[in-house]
Amino acid sequence: MNNEEREREAGGRERELRGVEARPRNWLVPVILLSLREWNSYGYELMERASAFGFEAMNPGTLYRTLRQMEKDGIVESSWETSRGGPARRMYTITDTGRAYLDFWAKSLEQYQHTMDNFFRLYTGRPLQDKNDEESSE
């Protein structure tokens, strides 16, 4: 094996840079839970509310699929509402498990905010104590 030759494998650079959007994983789930904790709602309405949390150009499929999965997970419940004009709506309610889940999420989010604070502290140039600097910049 020749290690130095493998260095050439790194060609083909300058692709399009991938998504630089800072958005947490499963961010949609806590946003839906938070909305449902305020009042019961349905997909089409929740979609509009979610746009306030970074889902401005949300695809309906994503939301509806997420809602069905959340019901399977037991954090929301649903029932059809047909008592009014227009297409039937699947009305969602948050469960006790869902409230606990939301609380857990909030704690995790709080923790993560501290991690991001660390990131910014390093980014803006105020180092938290660490090992020796190779450039020895005084």
Partner DNA sequence: ATAACCTATGTGCATTTTACATATATATAT
Partner DNA sequence: ATATATATATGTAAAATGCACATAGGTTAT
Question: Which residues are at the interface with a copy of itself (CB under 8 A)?
Answer: 3-4, 6-7, 10-15, 17-26, 29-31, 34, 38-40, 52-54, 68-69, 71-75, 77-80, 82, 88, 95, 97, 101-102, 104-106, 108-113, 115-116, 118-120, 122-123, 127-128, 133-135
- Separation of alpha carbons 75 and 31, rounded Å: 13
- Closest contact distance (angstroms) between CB of 104 and a copy of itself is 5
Contact between 88 and 82 (Cβ < 8 Å): yes
Binders of DNA in range 74-103 (CB under 7 A): 85-91
Q: How far is residue 114's CA from residue 68's CA, in Å, rounded to a whole number? A: 32
Q: How many residues bind DNA (CB under 7 A)?
A: 32
Query: Residue 28 interacts with DNA (CB under 7 A)?
Result: yes
Q: Is 80 helix (H, G, I), strand (E, B) or coil?
A: strand
* Nearest-angstrom CA–CA distance, 93 and 24: 24
Using CB under 7 A as the binding rule, whether residue 27 contacts DNA is answered as yes
Q: Is the dihedral of CA 47, 53, 59, 64 positive or negative?
A: negative
Question: Sheet containing 41-42: which strands, arranged edge to edge?
Answer: 41-42, 89-94, 76-81
Residue 112 is a binding residue for DNA (CB under 7 A): no
From 37, 52, 62, 117, residue interacting with DNA (rule: CB under 7 A): 62
Contact 78, 92 (CB under 8 A): yes
> Which positions lie near DNA, rule CB under 7 A?
1, 3, 6, 9, 15, 18-19, 23, 25-28, 42-45, 57, 59-62, 64-65, 67-68, 85-91
